[in-house]
Amino acid sequence: MYTVNDVSERLNLSKHTIRYYTDQGLIPNLQRDKNNNRIFDDASLNWLIGVRYLKNCGMSIQDIREYNQLCLLGDSTIDERFDIILKQKALAEEQLLEAQKRYKYLEDKLELYEKIKNRQHTDTANPDKWPINQVTV
């Protein structure tokens, strides 16, 4: 059995995050000691790890709660769980494409700055030097 402090160190999660996840009902069958402190077994750790991964993938607490409830119902919910993960993958793909666009913008901006630094280009990176009404978005 593990305390919140033990779990925090073991999983590299803040104590606040662990308490928040448990308060949100994301850890099934959470146990408490005689002083009403949360205590965790190996199964609880597995649920916390799963919640952390889903949260890091951008899944909402509500969707994680729904996913966990379906897991508890067993194999009859595999199709529904598949659909939840598929939906989350599509959202992650959209975020990835947006991140790639931001990365490309920064690459292009750095390339321009290299040219400006080497006196191969005038400073067109500074918005203060842009002509009025000639900015394209």
Q: Where are the domains of the chain?
A: 1-73, 78-124
Name the packing angle between helices 4-11 and 15-23 (round to 10°): 110
Residue-wise pLDDT tens digits, 16-73: 999 999 999 999 988 999 999 999 999 999 999 999 999 999 999 999 999 999 999 9
Token pair in block for residue 88: 């989350």
Interacting residues of 44 by C-beta distance below 8 A, sequence separation 6+: 2, 7, 27, 29, 30, 31
pLDDT at 129: 79
Q: Comparing C-alpha atoms, which of 65, 60, 59, 62 is closest to residue 89?
A: 59
Which pTM was predicted? 0.74
The confidence score (pLDDT) of residue 64 equals: 96
Reported as a single tens digit per residue, the pLDDT across 71-86 is 999 999 999 999 999 9
Query: In the numeric block, which tokens belong to residue 102?
Result: 């931001």
- Which residues does residue 2 pair with via DSSP β-bridges, in sequence order? 40
State the average pLDDT over residues 87-91: 94
The CATH code for residues 1-73 is 1.10.1660.10
pLDDT at 135 over 60: no
Q: How far is CA 56 from the centre of its chain?
A: 3
Sign of CA dihedral 30, 31, 35, 38: negative
Range with lowest mean pLDDT among 47-51, 107-111, 133-137: 133-137
Q: What is the pLDDT of residue 134?
A: 63
